Structure 1
Amino acid sequence: MMKRATTHHSKTKANDLTILSTVTLAYDDRHRRRIKMTADNGEDFLLDLEQATYLADGDLLELENGQAFMVKAALEEVMDVHCSNIDETARIAWHIGNRHTPLEVLRGGIMRLPYDHVLQHMIEGLGGHCERKKAPFAPESGAYKSGSGEHGHAHY
């Protein structure tokens, strides 16, 4: 019988559970409710949560027997955007947001987004510098958290 992960815990509970392995997931695969998963040790399990949940790097998926798998954010093709001043940062952030592109804000005002050559060209045309790399990606969740898939404003 396949193991079932029925409880999600933020990474703060890591000391209370026996961790069997990690499960490495890309950003697009870290918002789930019910799906068969394969841990990094090759063990299959069923994620079976009551509602769709965002699985952050370091979070735990507790099995019915009290053991757990730890979520690990996969390395993804991203680009870090560096700007020379706050005005340039604000202008570039506005253009990225206008395209509804997910964005992670890093220390020092650096913005991380999925790699896209069209966006790279736009950002560099606005004066920013893009550093392409493989890194974990955990974008901002957004101001409109209705859960309905809507983002709170209309496009005319």
Structure 2
Amino acid sequence: MLVIQERIEAQESWDEELLLTFEARSKSRLRCFTVKGEDVGLFLERGQPPLHDGACLRSQDGRVVRISARPEPLLHVTCANAFELTRAAYHLGNRHVALQIGDNWLRLLDDYVLKAMLEQLGARVENIEAGFQPEHGAYGGGHHHSHHGEADFNYAPRLHQFGVRT
């Protein structure tokens, strides 16, 4: 089994490749297979952002492993104007939906209930298959309800770099 425990900077060349859905890229512990079929065990540091398309890892035997976003069923949302797109994003955000944001479009994992809601709001919704890379969120520490000073769950929020696109 190829054991991977380390994230590294993106590399121009790599030895192996993992094709993973967004859900799989969000896990710190995962058993999966390279595109060549080799068994892989991911044991990454917990509490880190999801792996993004193009990220690289180093295996215990020194090989560089590139992460690629596996195409998955998505809803591609466009609207007649910026107000309607902002309104659609508001309603999705109010439901804590993971969103990929592009120039004049939104993408989310396929969901027939959300698709109906978006169409009711007047959005154009197209079913597509593509890699999904949603916004990570403004705070990197995760969500919890601890009180200030509780050592087990207290953390200083790490702000997301707004406007940075990968």
The TM-score with structure 1 as length reference comes to 0.84
Of 76, 79, 89 in structure 2, the residue corresponding to residue 80 of structure 1 is 76
Alignment correspondent of 1:150: 144
Query: Could you list the runs of 5+ residues in structure 1 that have no partner in the other structure?
Result: none
- In 2, Cα distance between the equivalents of 1:10 and 1:84? 39
Residue 58 of structure 1, CA deviation: 0.9
The TM-score with structure 2 as length reference comes to 0.79
Q: Rate the CA distance shift 1:151–1:38 in 2: closer, same or farther, 3 A.
A: farther
- In 2, Cα distance between the equivalents of 1:138 and 1:150? 24
Q: Which deviations, in whole Å up to 9, do the C-alpha atoms of 1:72-97 show, x marking residues without a partner? A: 10111101100111111111111111
Q: What amino acid is aligned across from residue 44 of structure 1 in structure 2? A: D
Q: Rate the CA distance shift 1:74–1:36 in 2: closer, same or farther, 3 A.
A: same
Residue 47 of structure 1, CA deviation: 1.6
Q: Which has the higher strand share?
A: 1
Residue 7 of structure 1, CA deviation: 1.1
Q: What amino acid is aligned across from residue 53 of structure 2 in structure 1? A: D
Query: Could you list the runs of 5+ residues in structure 2 that have no partner in the other structure?
Result: 147-166
Does residue 1:134 correspond to 2:145, yes or no? Answer: no
Alignment correspondent of 2:41: 46
Q: What amino acid is aligned across from residue 82 of structure 2 in structure 1? A: I
Of 42, 54, 57 in structure 2, the residue corresponding to residue 58 of structure 1 is 54
Stretches of 4+ aligned residues off by more than 6 angstroms: none
Alignment correspondent of 2:5: 6
- In 2, Cα distance between the equivalents of 1:52 and 1:3? 22
RMSD: 2.0
Q: Which has the higher helix share?
A: 1
Residue 52 of structure 1, CA deviation: 4.4
